Amino acid sequence: MSHDLALVTIPTLNERENLDWFMEGILALKDDRLHVLVADDDSLDGTWRTYGTKYAADSERNHLIRRPGHDKGQGYALRDAWKWALEHQPAYAFVIAMAGNRTDDPKYIPQMIAALQGGADMVVCERSLQPGGDASAPRRTWGGRGLIGAPASVKDYESGFRGFTRAALEKIDPKTLRSGDHGLKAEVMARAGKLKLRVATLPVPFVAKDPKHEQGGNASFGGKLGLFMRRMTGGV
């Protein structure tokens, strides 16, 4: 499939055991127009070192942000990755977000890019309710939709396997996002709803996360209530 330049952003924390799995899956797509950015929270297991040595060294396609310091978490890592993506030249037309814990399969990336090429501003991979469910299986759903203002077209708004056009990500404006943890997923969906972005969905099978994975989860009720209050005051 021919497409404009795209970037896959992957936040990692102690994912060295999963590193080859997701990188080999991306490389198996044989897509020279698809780049990778790993934003690593200074993993104690040396994920950043292994990725940097094995994949990012002397590569124009594979990039690394090592994130030492205090602002740790999936949200902080993705915010940094998305800001980097928007500043990069040559410009990326599409930005994909996926986990590094084997829950998000890179084989769906071509379909995500196709949806964005087809006119969607954003695409969300909706997971099956039960592990391994096919495309016809019921999708995972979440309460609190009214609190955060998620687009009505999206049932699984807590799925972090997503893609954006450059224009949509610029409107979402990563510099102004606040969530530092997994609450970023709900915050982005709240902003997508406010901006009335065209959000497509792609059914994928649910895969349980690696139990050793230290990042992940969903927005709490308190987090959703906070988003509601921000929506009411124009702060989302």
Question: One-letter amino acid identity for 231?
Answer: R
Q: What percent of the chain has pLDDT over 90?
A: 75
Q: For residue range 98-108, what is the model confidence (pLDDT) as tens digits? A: 999 999 999 99
**Res. 145: pLDDT tops 70:** yes
Residues 29 and 55 sit within 8 Å (Cβ to Cβ): no
Provide the CA 85 distance to its chain's centre, in angstroms. 13
Residue 1 lies in a domain: no
- pLDDT band, very low/low/confident/very high, at 146 (cuts 50, 70, 90): confident
Q: Peptide bond preceding 11: is omega within 30 degrees of 0, i.e. cis? A: no
- pLDDT band, very low/low/confident/very high, at 233 (cuts 50, 70, 90): low
Residue for token digits 């037309």? 93
Number of domains, the chain? 1
**How do strand 162-165 and strand 94-97 relate by DSSP bridges?**
antiparallel
Residue 158 lies in a domain: yes
**Residue 68 sits in a domain of what CATH number?**
3.90.550.10
Q: For residue range 8-54, what is the model confidence (pLDDT) as tens digits? A: 999 999 999 999 999 999 999 999 999 999 999 999 999 999 999 99
Residue for token digits 């059914």? 203
Least confident of 76-85, 110-119, 175-184: 175-184
Q: For residue range 77-90, what is the model confidence (pLDDT) as tens digits? A: 999 999 999 999 99
Two structure tokens written together for 199: 């959000």
The pLDDT of residue 132 is 85
Range of the domain at 157: 6-232
